[in-house]
Structure 1
Amino acid sequence: MQIAGPGFLQFLHGVRTRGFLDYAGELWRKHGDVFQVKLGPKRLIFAMHPDAVEHVNVSHRQNYDKRASYDAVRKFLLGDGLVVSTGELWRRQRKLMAPFFTPKGVQAYADLMIRDGARLVERWEALAGDGAEVEIAEEMTLVTASIILKAMFSSETMESIHQMKDAVSTMITFVDTQMMGLRLPVWVPTARNRRYLAASGLVNRSISGLIAQRRATDQSSWPDDLLSRLMKTRDDETGQAMSESLLRDESITTFFAGHETTARTMTFAWYALAAHPQVAERLHAELDRVLAGRLPTAEDLRQLPYTLQVVKEVLRLYPAAPFYVRDAVNADTIGGFEVPPGAAVMLSPYYTHRHPQFWDAPEVFDPDRWTRERENGRHGHAYHPFAAGPRICIGNNFSLLESHLLLAILAQRFTPRLRTGFKPRWVMQGTLGFAEGLPMTITAR
């Protein structure tokens, strides 16, 4: 069956004039849950229905992998890190790393999340006193970068945290432009290429230096952080440790995946609370009742269900990764339509989470969707902010714990307010964000 969709030039014009995010939504409403774009000899197939999410990620996952669509990410950012590795390497690395990211495993990092949240409270107290406006995305990126660097490397100096955060941000921006086809060879001395090479060099030298320092000392003196755990772990079958290059790639991957999406989730949470004061009022009431002004502990989170419901609704309506790709390695059929080998299948948390067959009033921000009763009655793949199946993001438990704690710590003390008259414009540049940022004033409750 022929798959409906625009032609190549029409697609490019739509993306240029309306942006990828909005234009993909227009095409979905026009063509239905499965449609294609022919990009020369290659097909880009959009699949929005929860059944397609289950098909690609679970029941027919053997037909899909992360291949050509991720080449730029592999080459310029993550190497053979878990997010983009494939085949036997991915299976081995996933098995080695999975115990560190279970719901129980991530509890080891709760105390440092709480500590860094408390430090941000001190900073925001000063900001609330002078009425200064801040870029809330930068505030959230700094705290999540600090948390993951401490969890990963025991990095404590703000200078090292700023340097690593800025360098990885430069690398991410470079990869985004590479994936959009704006490609001059990296050896051409353009300003963009020079910035990338400097950032990549700093990141790789920093991580290699940390690994070398650990190797030069007795294991008994190593800090109990994720790098030490990765260096100590051994493959059950071969007894081998990770290679130096894999340790470096997994370290970069963990930092990239461990702060970028959580920072955006927290940024979007402040926007949602500012835009929905009735939700903020219920959230504050729960926090005041349970915490009474003190810092939360990990054990307190069980008594803060509405706080978690707010996080889950942010992830539904504003998923940090609004699209993700799986490359077809075998011929397949999705929803009655043929998928040839080599086609790129674009799945969309952003639009699956807005599918009217599975969500009542899907554009409305409603944390009550996440009561146990309503959640249990929903299609199992109508919600996939961290992807799904065996390749679900390994850091999902870390991110949920971090978001739950940070929201509890900060929302009981502060109410960030949008600049009067400011209307944010949502865009997708690899991840979801605001075209002009999100300026807010920190206000004490």
Structure 2
Amino acid sequence: MQPPSPGLLRFIHGVRKHGFLAHAGQLWREHGDVFQVRIGSKALVFAMHPDAVEHVSVSHRQNYDKRASYDAVREYLLGDGLVASNGELWRRQRKLMAPFFTPKGVQAYAELMIRDGARLVERWQALAGEGAEVEISEEMTLVTASIILRAMFSSETMESIHQMKDAVNTMITFVDTQMMGFRLPLWLPTAKNRKYLAARELVQRSIAGLIALRRATDESQWPDDLLSRLMKVRDEETGQVMSESLLRDESITTFFAGHETTARTMTFTWYALAAYPKVAERLHEELDRVLGGRIPTTEDLRQLPYTLQVVKEVLRLYPAAPFYVRDAVGADTIGGFDVPAGAAVMLSPYYTHRHPQFWDDPEVFDPDRWTRERESGRHGHAYHPFAAGPRICIGNNFSLLESHLLLAILAQRFAPRLRPGFTPRWVMQGTLGLADGLPMVIGAR
């Protein structure tokens, strides 16, 4: 049985009028948990139910991979990095890199997170005194970019951090434009092409230079960062190390995945705390009681459960990746509907996390959803902010630790306020974003 379909023209009109994110929600409410849009011979299948997440990501995962839907990401941004690779290459790289991103493995970077959080405290103290308005997403992007670049490359200068952040963000923006509509060849000297090529050259040249510098230095002198670990790790079966191109692609992938999504999560956290003052009050009470004004350590995090519950609820209501795609290798059935080979299956944390069958008052921001008792009774795939199954984001432990620490460091001292009268407008721009940004005043508590 074919899934219900709104028709291509209606879909295009709805996306233009309301945006992809909002229109997909309208179609879900109208057509149910599985519906499709035909774009020529291509089927775009939306699957919102947690059972579909389990089906695609776990029980029938052999039939779903990252194929044509990720061509632009591979070509223009991540190459063969872990996020976009597939098949045997992905399995080998995932096995090599997984030990660096376990809950224990990411503890090695906690001190970087704490140090950069403390630096942001100093900056915000000055801003709080001035009463100046800032774009909070820029504040969060800079701190998360700094953390991942120091963790990845031991980068210390703010100039190098700004350059790499801006260049990768240019590449991300370019990829978003290439995934929709007709692609102009890169050799055409358009302004967008020139800006993208300059950014790619800067990123690739910088990483190649860092690798060459390490190769020219005795291994015993290498810093203990992620790049060194990637350069040293060997395939258990072949004994081979990563090629230069794979080191570059995994470095770009780690930076892209390691700063943008966490920056979005932290940005949306400040919005939620400003919009839900009772949540902020409970958070502040826990931080004051446990920390008493001091910078937290990783040992303190066990005593800050409500702080982590706030982060988890942000990831539920405002997941940085509102949709992700898996390509059907062969024909299949999802939720009783036919899925043809080659279909792009759109799984949606944004709407699965709002499914009324699995969440009470799903639009309400409620960190108490994340008590152990309430979590234990929930469908195992009703919550998938980092995707699910073997292809769950390898950096999820890094992101959760970073968000937990940064929130604990900053929220005990500051309570950013929304611009009076400001109403956020949520949009999907590859990742979840705010169409008009998030202007806030950094107020001291």
What TM-score, normalized to structure 1?
1.00
Letter in 2 for 1:418: L
1:185 aligned partner? 185
Please name the residue that 1:217 is paired with.
217
Deviation of the 1:9 alpha carbon:
1.2
Q: Distance in 2 between matches of 1:2 and 1:413?
A: 55
Residue identity matched to 1:354: R
- 2:311 is matched with which residue? 311
Q: Which amino acid aligns with 2:63?
A: N
Aligned to 2:173: 173
Amino acid at match of 2:262: T
Amino acid corresponding to residue 99 of structure 1 in structure 2: P
Quote the Cα distance in structure 1 between the aligned partners of 2:362 and 2:420. 27
* Residue in structure 1 matched with residue 63 of structure 2 by the alignment: 63
Aligned position for 1:152: 152
State how far apart, in whole Å, the 1-side matches of 2:386 and 2:306 are.
21
Task: Name the CA distance, whole Å, in 1 between partners of 2:355 and 2:204.
Answer: 42
1:307-335 CA-partner distances (Å, limit 9, x unpaired): 00000000000000000000000111101
Give the CA deviation at 1:187: 1.0
Confirm whether residue 421 of structure 1 aligns to residue 386 of structure 2.
Answer: no
Counterparts of 1:8-157 in structure 2 under 5 Å?
8-157=8-157
SS of equivalent residue, structure 1 residue 338 = strand
Q: Report the counterpart of residue 373 of structure 2 in structure 1.
A: 373
Tell me the alpha carbon deviations over residues 154-177 of structure 1, each in whole angstroms, 9 at most, x when there is no partner: 000000000000000000000000
Name the aligned partner's letter for residue 363 of structure 1. E
Question: What does the per-residue CA deviation read over 1:56-86, in whole Å, with 9 as the maximum and x for residues that have no partner?
Answer: 0000000000000000000000000000101
Structure 2 counterparts to residues 425-444 of structure 1, below 5 A: 425-444=425-444
Residue type of the alignment partner of 1:318: Y
Cα deviations by residue, 1:265-292 (Å, 9 ceiling, x for unpaired) = 0000000000000000000000000000
Deviation, structure 1 residue 128: 0.2
Residue 74 of structure 1: SS of its match in structure 2? Answer: helix
In the alignment, the residues of structure 1 paired with residue 116 and residue 363 of structure 2 have an alpha-carbon distance, to the nearest angstrom, of 33
Cα distance in 2 for partners of 1:436, 1:27 equals 25
Q: Which residue pairs with 1:163 in the alignment?
A: 163
Query: How many pairs were matched up?
Result: 445
Question: What is the rounded CA distance, in whole Å, between the counterparts of 1:367 and 1:153 in structure 2?
Answer: 35
Aligned match of 1:282: 282
Question: 2:308 & 2:3 partners in 1: Cα distance?
Answer: 39
CA–CA separation in structure 1 for the residues paired with 2:255 and 2:154:
13
Q: Which moved more, 1:182-191 or 1:210-219?
A: 182-191
Work out whether residues 427 and 433 of structure 1, in 8 Å CA contact, stay in contact via their aligned partners in 2: yes
**How far did 1:183 drift?**
1.7
Cα distance in 1 between the residues matched to 2:400 and 2:438: 22
Alignment of 1:315-330 (within 5 A): 315-330=315-330
Alpha-carbon shift at residue 182 of structure 1 (Å): 4.5
The equivalent of 2:232 in structure 1 is 232
- 1:372-417 superposed Cα distances (whole Å, 9 cap, x missing partner): 0000110000000000000000000000000000000000000000
Which of 331-340 and 294-303 deviates more? 331-340
How far did residue 8 of structure 1 move? 1.1
- Once superposed, which parts of structure 1, at least 4 consecutive aligned residues long, lie more than 3 Å away? none
Structure 1, unmatched stretches of 5+, are none
> 1:29-76 deviations in whole A, cap 9, x for unaligned?
000000000011110000000000000000000000000000000000
Q: State the distance in 1 between where 2:380 and 2:404 align.
A: 22
What is the CA deviation profile of residues 188-213 of structure 1, one whole-angstrom value per residue up to 9, with x for unaligned ones?
11111000000000000000000000
Give secondary structure in 1 for the equivalent of 2:234.
Answer: coil
Q: Secondary structure at the match of 2:189?
A: coil
Whether 1:341 aligns to 2:341 is yes
**Identical positions, percent:** 86
Counterpart amino acid of residue 242 in structure 1: M
Name the CA distance, whole Å, in 1 between partners of 2:31 and 2:5: 7
Any idea what SS the aligned residue of 2:327 has? strand
Q: Distance in 2 between matches of 1:339 and 1:432?
A: 27
What is the CA distance between 1:3 and its match in structure 2? 1.0
Q: 1:201-280 to 2 correspondence within 5 Å?
A: 201-280=201-280
**Does the 8 Å CA contact 1:120/1:143 hold for their aligned counterparts?**
yes
Aligned residue for 1:300, secondary structure, equals: helix
Residues 75-126 of structure 1: CA deviation (Å, up to 9, x unaligned): 0000000001010000000000000000000000000100000000000000
AA aligned to 2:112 is: L
CA distance in 1 between partners of 2:383 and 2:411 (Å): 25
1:256 to partner: Cα distance: 0.2
Contact 1:8–1:40 (Cα < 8 Å) also in 2? no
Q: Say which SS state the counterpart of residue 169 (structure 1) adopts.
A: helix
CA-based RMSD: 0.5
TM-superposed deviation, 1:223: 0.1
Cα deviation, residue 11, structure 1: 0.7
Letter in 1 for 2:343: A
Q: Match for residue 391 of structure 1?
A: 391
Distance 1:95 1:3 in 2: 37
